[in-house]
Structure 1
Amino acid sequence: MEGVPLSKIIQNSELLILKEIAELLNESTEVEKMLPEVLNKLLNVTGLEIGWMFLVDGDGGYRLVAKESLPPALSLNDCSPMCSGECWCINRYNIGRLHKATNIIECKRIEDALAIKSGATNGLTHHATVPLRAGDEKFGILNVGSPNKTTFEPSELALLESVAFQIGTALKRIRLSQKEQETALIAERNRLARDLHDSVNQLLFSLSLTARGGMEMTDDEGIKETFSYLQDLAQEALGEMRALIWQLRPIGLEHGIVSSLKAYGQMLNLNMRTKISGVAGLPGKVEEALWRIGQEALANCKKHSQSADVDLSLMVANHKVEMEITDRGCGFVYMEQNEIPSLGLKSMKTRAESLNGTFHLTSAPGKGTQIKIKIPI
C-alpha cells in the first residue's frame, strides 16, 4: 500500500483483529462454546500457533476451557498435564500479581513434560500469559505461544491484552445475563406458587368442606360413601398441591438446605434423621440443585419405599459438598452399569452433572435405596 506508513498498516490490522473478535464475542451466549472459537480466531489472525485458556474460580481452582494445537506432551491423556498441578501463570494469578500481558520465560508444564519424557513439545518452550478481566473482576487466563518463539514484542502483548479484556467483558456480560435469568425464573416460580395457593388450593379446600357437609346432610349410605370418596380425593389433591407449591417456592430455604429438606420431609410425613458436617453457606446454584434433587428423592421415598424412615446426610469438605439420602424401604433391583430406571432419577443425575458433580444410586430388594450426590464448590 504505497504511501501508507508501516505503523498505520499495523494499526489497521490490529483494529481488524479486534473487530472480528468483538463480533464473535457479541454473538455468543455460551461460554464453553465461545472461548474455543475466540481462541481459534485469535491464533488465525495473529499467526500464532498454540493457545489455551483457563477459567479460575474464587478459591484458585482452575479448569481448561479452550485449547488449540497443544503439543503431544501437553495433550497426553485428554490434556491431563494441563488439568492439574501448579505453574507460574496460575500461581501468579492466584496471589494477585498477574495484572497485564506478560512474557513467560519458560513454561513449567513444558519443563515437567521434558523431565519425564512424556512426549514431543513441538518446539514450544515459552508463552505469553494474559489475565481475562473486566475492571477489577478476574475470570481466568489466556496463554499463547508458537514453536521456538521465546519472547513477545510490546505491541504483541498490547494486542493480546486488548483481546483478553474483550473476552473478560464478554464473560461478565454472560454471567450477568445468567443471573438475570435466574432471578426472573425465581420470580416466576413465586408468582405461580402464589396463584396456585390462592386459586386451585382454595378450590380444593372448598371441595373438601362441601363433601364433608354433604355427608352430614344425608342419611343415605350410598350418598355418604360418594361424598366420603370425594372428600378423600380432595384431600389427596390438596396434599399433591401443597407439595407442588413447595417445589416451586420452598419455605425455609433461606435458612439453609437441611432446614428446608427437613420441613419438606415433615410435610410428607416422613421420619427423618439428619447428619450434618462442615456445612456453611453454599453457592446459590449448588443449593438450588441440592434442593431439587432432595425433594425428588424424598418424594420417591414417600411414594415407593413403603417406609417412612429416611436418613439425610450433608457434608462439606475439601471444596465439595456431599449429600446422601437413604431409606430403609423395599428397594429394587439395580446394578450401576444398567440404565437409570426412572425420569426422576435421571433428572437428579442431570442436575448434579450440570454442576460438574456426580450421582450414584444404590438399591437392592429388601435393603432400601440410597442416592449419593457430590458437587464441587
Structure 2
Amino acid sequence: MKTQMEKNQKINPVFELDWYRDVIEFAPDTYNIIDKEGTFLYTNSRSSTENPEDFIGKSIFDYFLPEFALMVKEKLDHVYESGENDHYELATDYGGGPRRYYMTNLAPIKREGDVVAIAMYIRNISELKVAQIELSNLNQELEDRVLKRTLALQEYAKRMEITEKLSIGLRHARNLAEVLQLLGEQFKNTFRVDVAGIYEVQDEHHLNLSLNLNPEINPPSKLTPFSDKFFFSLLNENQIRIAQIPEQQHQDCQFCEFIHQNQMRTLVLAPIRATSAMVGVIYMAFRQSTVISTDDEQLMRSFIEAGGNTIQRIQAMQRLEQNIKNRENELEVLYDIMSTASETIDLDELLQRILKRILQAVNCGIGIIHLIEDNQIIKKIQIPETLPPEFKSGVELLRTQTTNIEDLFLDSQYQFWDIPKTNLNSLSALIRSKGKILGVISLIGECLNKNDLEMIHLLSSIADEIGLAVESTRLRKQAQESLIFEERQRLARDLHDSVSQSLYGLVLSADISKKLLKLKEFETLEETLKDIETFALQSLREMRLMLFELRPLSFESEGLSGALELRVNTVERRAGLKTSLDIIGEELLFSPLDLEIYRIVTEALNNALKHSNASQIHVSIHVDEEFNQCVLKVIDNGAGFDLETNRVGGIGINSMKERAARVGGQLIVETKEGFGTVVHFICPLRPEKLRKS
C-alpha cells in the first residue's frame, strides 16, 4: 500500500518532500531528526557560528550539560522501544552566555512499523524556566521562613510550658530549700547539663553547698574568696557568666579541681537574687564545649527571676509571720504583766515577778529596776541577786547613770550603751506615770542590739506598764491607808455614839447608887441598879455588834442562811436576845438578791439591837417561785418609835429602802411607840417578770 505522501506526489509535484522541508526550515522553533544514538540526521537549527549542515553527523549530547546525558539517553531508548512520544527538559551553556533551558518533545519516525529515527521538537523555555526557578526559590524562602517561625513559636511555646510548670511548682514552695530544689532540677532538665547544683549565700565571704543534683560526685561543701579565687572572680551578682574551662587548672581553687576531675569544658554561673541581695548561685557544667544561645540565656534569666520572686515572697511571709509571732509574744508578756500588776501584792514581789517575766521573754541574763525619787534610788530590784564579776561594772554604770536620769533621757524614752571593757551592752527605758519619772528598767547582756527596734519597743511598753503598776500600787496603798483611817474614825464615832454613851450612863448610875447607898435610899437604889444592868447589857450588845462587823464576811462560802445564823449566834443570842430564823426556798434566790436581803436583815437587826431595847427578834424569809416573789419580815418586841418624828427615815431606814429599790422591791416599816417594830420587804425573784406582770 502506498503512503499518502506518495499518492500526493503522483497527483501533484508540489507535494514533494522538499515542500515540508521548507516549512520546517523556516519554523520559529528547532526541529531535529536523530537516530537511536542521538546523531543528527537533520536539523533546522540556525546558529551565528554554525550552519545546519555542520550539525549533521554530530551527537546531540555535545550540546547540553553532562548531568542531563543519562536522562536523555533513557528517553531516546524509551521512544525507540515503545514507539511512543516522550519529552524532557534540560539546560545548556553551549556557545557561552547564561544557562539556557529547553523543552524537547520526542516523536518516533516509523517505517513499516519499526522506529527508524526520532523527531525532536525543541522550544526555548529559558524565560519561563527562570521565572519558575525564581518562583520556586521564592516559595522555598517563604517555606523556610514559615518553618523557622514555626520552630521558633514551638520553641517559645515549649519554653512557656517549661516556665509555667516552674511557676506552678514555685507557687507551692514553702521555704528556700524547696525553691532551690525546683530551680536546680529545672536547669538540669531544660539545658541537659552534665553537672549542676546550687550554693547558698551564708554571708559575703562564704557560700555553702545547698543542693547537689549529681549524688555520684561530691563538689566542695563550702567556697570562700580565699580558697576559690577563680570561682569568685567569675561570679557577678547581676549577670549570668559563661566560661570555657581552660585545660590548665587554676591554682588555689577547690571548685576548679572538682570541675577538672569531672572533665568539664563549659561552666555557667547564674546568681539568684531576692530583695536586691544575692541568696544563691546555680552552677552548671558541660563535658563538651557548649555555646549558650541568647535565647537559652534569656530562659535562664526568666527561671532565676521567677525563683528570686518566689524567695522574696517567702521571705516577706516569714517576716510577716515572725512579726505576728513577736507581736503575739509582746502582747502575751504585756498581758502577763498587766495581770500581775492587777493583783494585790507587795510592790517588791510585784516588781520581782514582772522582771522575771521580762527576762524570760527576751532571753537576756540580767534585769534591774531602779525606783527613784528626787534623784535618789529608793528601791532596787535585781535578777539574779548575785552577779558574775564581769557584770558588776555594768550594774555600777547603771547606778551612777540613774542618779542623773533627767539629763540622760532628755531626747528619748530609752538609752543604749556599751559597757566599757566588756562585751556587754545595756538597754534602759524610763518608768513613768502621768508624766512623772518613777524609775528606770535596765537589761544587761550580750543579747542586746541597738538596731533591734522590736526589743526596744517591747521594753518601752513594759516600762509604761510598770509605771502604771507602781502608781496603782501606791494609790492602792494610799486608799488602804485612807480606808483604815476612815474605819478608825467610824469606830470612834460608833464608840462615842453607842458604847461610850452606855458606859457614861453606867458610870452616872453607879455614882448615884453609891450616894443612895450612903443615904440608905434602898427603894431608889434598886431602880438605879436596874438602870446599871440595862446600860451594861446595852454596852455588851453594842460591843458584840462592833466585834462582828470587824470580822471579814464569808458570805459566798456560808450562803444566806449560814451568814444570818452566824450573825444571830455571834451577836443577838450572846447578847441575851431570843432570836429565831425561818428561811424557806433559799435555793431559789439568785445573786445579788441574796446579798441585798442579808444587808437589809442585818440593818434591821442593828436597829433593833441599838435602839429598840427588844428582848425577842424573829426573822422570816419565804421564797415563792409560783408567784415569783420573796417576802422578808423582821419583827422585834422593842420600844418602837414614832414614824412621824422620823419622817426623813432615820435609824438606817433610808439605807434599807435604797437596797430594796436596787432589786426592784419595796420596803415598809410598821411601828408604834411601845408596840415594837416590823420591817416588811417584798421583791420579785426576777425583776423582768415583775415588770411584765
Q: 1:156 aligns with which of 290, 296, 307?
A: 296
- CA–CA separation in structure 1 for the residues paired with 2:247 and 2:198: 16
| 1:6 to 2:151 alignment | yes
Q: How does 1:360-375 map to 2 (within 5 A)?
A: none
Unpaired runs of at least 5, structure 1: 210-233, 251-259, 289-377
Query: Residue type matched to 1:270 in 2?
Result: T
Task: Tell me which residue corresponds to 1:90.
Answer: 232
Q: CA deviation at 1:33?
A: 3.4
Change over 3 Å in CA distance of 1:182–1:127 after alignment to 2: same
Q: 2:160 aligns with which of 15, 18, 30?
A: 15
| 1:276 to 2:389 alignment | no
Change over 3 Å in CA distance of 1:10–1:119 after alignment to 2: closer
- CA–CA separation in structure 2 for the residues paired with 1:100 and 1:165: 12
Change over 3 Å in CA distance of 1:136–1:89 after alignment to 2: farther
Query: Residue type matched to 2:422 in 1?
Result: I
- CA–CA separation in structure 2 for the residues paired with 1:244 and 1:114: 50
Q: How does 1:71-110 map to 2 (within 5 A)?
A: 72=217, 75=218, 79-80=220-221, 85-93=227-235, 97-106=236-245
- CA–CA separation in structure 2 for the residues paired with 1:116 and 1:89: 8
Change over 3 Å in CA distance of 1:283–1:99 after alignment to 2: farther
- Identity percentage of aligned residues: 12
Query: Residue type matched to 1:181 in 2?
Result: E
Kept after mapping to 1: 8 A contact 2:239/2:271: yes
Query: Residue type matched to 2:187 in 1?
Result: L
Q: CA deviation at 1:123?
A: 3.1
| 1:247 to 2:357 alignment | no
Q: 2:338 aligns with which of 189, 194, 198?
A: 198
- CA–CA separation in structure 2 for the residues paired with 1:90 and 1:107: 16
Kept after mapping to 1: 8 A contact 2:200/2:209: yes
Kept after mapping to 2: 8 A contact 1:50/1:69: yes
Q: How does 1:298-309 map to 2 (within 5 A)?
A: none
Task: Tell me which residue corresponds to 1:127.
Answer: 267
Task: Tell me which residue corresponds to 2:318.
Answer: 178
Kept after mapping to 2: 8 A contact 1:192/1:248: no
| 1:29 to 2:174 alignment | yes
Q: CA deviation at 1:98?
A: 4.2
Alignment partner of 2:288: what SS? Answer: coil
- CA–CA separation in structure 2 for the residues paired with 1:60 and 1:116: 18
Task: Tell me which residue corresponds to 1:40.
Answer: 185
Deviations 1:256-278 (Å, cap 9, x if unpaired)? xxxx5343694221313336359
- CA–CA separation in structure 1 for the residues paired with 2:255 and 2:169: 39
Query: Residue type matched to 1:268 in 2?
Result: P
Alignment partner of 1:5: what SS? Answer: helix
Q: CA deviation at 1:55?
A: 2.3
Q: CA deviation at 1:114?
A: 9.8
Q: CA deviation at 1:58?
A: 4.9
Change over 3 Å in CA distance of 1:60–1:169 after alignment to 2: farther
Q: CA deviation at 1:87?
A: 4.2
Query: Residue type matched to 1:46 in 2?
Result: F
Kept after mapping to 2: 8 A contact 1:129/1:141: yes
Alignment partner of 2:153: what SS? Answer: helix
Task: Tell me which residue corresponds to 1:261.
Answer: 365
- CA–CA separation in structure 2 for the residues paired with 1:143 and 1:16: 23
| 1:187 to 2:327 alignment | yes
Change over 3 Å in CA distance of 1:30–1:60 after alignment to 2: same
Query: Residue type matched to 1:99 in 2?
Result: N
Alignment partner of 1:263: what SS? Answer: strand
Q: CA deviation at 1:195?
A: 0.9
- CA–CA separation in structure 1 for the residues paired with 2:255 and 2:205: 26
Change over 3 Å in CA distance of 1:140–1:85 after alignment to 2: same
Alignment partner of 2:292: what SS? Answer: coil
Task: Tell me which residue corresponds to 1:348.
Answer: none
Deviations 1:70-111 (Å, cap 9, x if unpaired)? 674xx16xx347578224443344xxx442222122289975
TM-score, normalising length from structure 1?
0.53
Structure number with higher relative contact order (C-alpha < 8 Å, ≥ 6 residues apart): 1
Query: Residue type matched to 2:326 in 1?
Result: I
Kept after mapping to 1: 8 A contact 2:166/2:182: no
Q: CA deviation at 1:161?
A: 1.2
Query: Residue type matched to 2:356 in 1?
Result: A
Kept after mapping to 2: 8 A contact 1:55/1:139: yes
Task: Tell me which residue corresponds to 2:106.
Answer: none
Query: Residue type matched to 1:12 in 2?
Result: A
- CA–CA separation in structure 2 for the residues paired with 1:118 and 1:98: 22
Kept after mapping to 2: 8 A contact 1:105/1:127: yes
Q: Please identify the structure whose Cα radius of gyration is greater.
A: 2
Kept after mapping to 1: 8 A contact 2:245/2:267: yes
Alignment partner of 2:232: what SS? Answer: helix
Alignment partner of 1:85: what SS? Answer: coil
Q: CA deviation at 1:248?
A: 2.1
| 1:142 to 2:282 alignment | yes
Kept after mapping to 2: 8 A contact 1:138/1:168: no
Kept after mapping to 1: 8 A contact 2:197/2:284: yes
RMSD over equivalenced CA pairs, Å: 4.1
Q: CA deviation at 1:5?
A: 0.9
Q: CA deviation at 1:42?
A: 2.8
Query: Residue type matched to 2:199 in 1?
Result: F
Change over 3 Å in CA distance of 1:166–1:116 after alignment to 2: closer
Kept after mapping to 2: 8 A contact 1:132/1:164: yes
Change over 3 Å in CA distance of 1:181–1:52 after alignment to 2: same
